[in-house]
Amino acid sequence: MYLTRIALDAKRRTTMRAIAAPQMLHGAIESGFNGERHRNLWRIDWLDANCYLLVVSEAQPDFTHIAEQFGFLDRAPLWETKDYDTFLSRIAAGQIWQFRLRANPVHAVKEKGANERGKLLAHVTIDQQKNWLLTRSTNLGFSLEADAFDVVHSEWKKFSKGEDKRREVSFRAVSFEGVLTITDANLFRRALVEGVGHGKAYGMGMMTIVKPSLVKAQDDTIRR
């Protein structure tokens, strides 16, 4: 597995257009790999005024075209790719990490008389969104305290896709940050490489972790 980071130039019109229409970035990312295509996890990160594209992939990418279209051509290197397996191998139960997750929290609502699982609807309140992650944490290999993480950003993403631009896509993009404790290393590694929830093609589901600045969140949830 590989983890790649590309600095994006948010002053370029093409970059902002791609961020607003995630299917453009999805296609560009998939074009960075030879051979059989695999769905790769990705996410847009804003750190202060700096914008980055993060990608987790099985194969090592060539993202020259992304740097040319959306990045800084005067920077070297154009992107950074690191081996992710070494980091993943160090994951162990009991470890405490600060995390960031951008996800699409949804719930299924069955229509009367329907045999299928139902229509997926977005969770729109902060309490609903936090509960969505809390109820899934055990199956994802970690535990959470309700006061140790929070929703730091939430927005609707709406855009048209398809050759005729007639298919409307709409979903809720929610950013979580806080502190977690690993309970099952194998399940947690799987969550890091396969993602969490729906909307992965559109930049949802990717979780990243770093060493916490504090072992326990105090007073307010840790924010960056």
Q: What is the CATH number of the domain that holds 135?
A: 3.30.70.1210
Task: Determine the Cα angle at 103 with ends 31 and 164, to 5°.
Answer: 50
Q: Torsion-angle region of residue 219: left (phi > 0), alpha (psi -120 to 50) or beta?
A: left
CA 218, CA 104: separation in Å to the nearest integer? 27
Tell me the per-residue pLDDT of 127-144, one tens digit each, with 9 for 90 and over. 999 999 999 999 999 999
Tell me the per-residue pLDDT of 96-130, one tens digit each, with 9 for 90 and over. 999 999 999 998 887 666 556 678 888 889 999 99
Considering the domain architecture, whether residues 103 and 84 belong to the same structural domain is answered as: no
pLDDT at residue 224, rounded to an integer: 36
CA 222, CA 55: separation in Å to the nearest integer? 24
- Is the pLDDT assigned to residue 170 strictly greater than 90? no
pLDDT at residue 163, rounded to an integer: 65
Total-model pTM = 0.86
Domain final position from 66, 88, 110 = 88
CA 99, CA 221: separation in Å to the nearest integer? 11
Considering the domain architecture, whether residues 52 and 120 belong to the same structural domain is answered as: no
Expressed as residue numbers, the domain containing 67 is: 2-88
Considering the domain architecture, whether residues 197 and 165 belong to the same structural domain is answered as: yes
Radius of gyration (Cα) for the chain, nearest Å?
A: 18
Q: Which is more confident, 164 or 69?
A: 69
Considering the domain architecture, whether residues 97 and 148 belong to the same structural domain is answered as: yes
